[in-house]
Amino acid sequence: MRSWTKLLISTGTGGVLLWVLTPLAPRLRSWWPGEPGVITLDIGPRVDLIASLASPRKVRGWTASGLVLDDGEVESLPDIELLPERSTFLERILERGVEVDPDDGRVYGLIPIHHWCGNDPVGRHIARVDVARVLEFTGEGGGSGNSIPETGRSDCGSASEWAWTELGWDVSCHFLYERWLEAMERR
């Protein structure tokens, strides 16, 4: 017996429905999409959102005052006085190198975003982020992170975790970051 049949029988209403629908089963199969008893949601094809850097530079690591680039140059981050000694975000962002905007000196990196919901049409997601803004948002850039809405904090964990998994930054927290960034730009 299939599991859906067992589920229907285990409830009183399900038993009645099974009794009523059993004679109709041959007719139901003619119009039922896919396998009978299996409801699927067609979300369409998976989409990959892969950002890139215009002129990436490799990073060897960081000090309290800035990022140490492959050529030995130390690139400071705008609006960040002290970089943290340890940071999961910084490690993951710097893995793919950084881009320094020649116009305003802002430093951008790439970070994987974990879309955990099976109904989400996004497959692989690599987002381009402003490194200083991410550190400010998470409270790891010497700031307190006080500008982050309190509702988002509970969803994303403590400032040291920020819902990071080995698959990337939780999509809900990335979405919260994007809304926060929009609010920052409107100021």
> Residues of the chain with pLDDT > 90: what percent?
37
Contacts of 156 (CB under 8 A, 6+ apart): 162, 163, 170, 172, 173, 176
Q: Give the CA radius of gyration of the chain.
A: 24
- E strands, the chain, where? 47-50, 59-62, 67-69, 74-75, 98-100, 107-114, 122-130, 164-165, 168-170
Asked if 171 contacts 185 with a C-beta cutoff of 8 angstroms, the reply is no
Per-residue confidence band for 8, with pLDDT thresholds at 50, 70 and 90: very low
**Whether pLDDT at 3 is above 60:** no
**H or E stretch covering 21:** helix 12-21
Per-residue pLDDT averaged across 63-75, rounded?
94
SS3 170: strand
Higher pLDDT, 173 or 30: 173
Per-residue pLDDT averaged across 128-137, rounded?
91
**pTM for this predicted structure:** 0.70
Q: How far apart are CA 23 and CA 31, in angstroms?
A: 15
CA–CA distances in Å: residue 158 to residues 108, 112, 131, 135:
24, 19, 19, 13
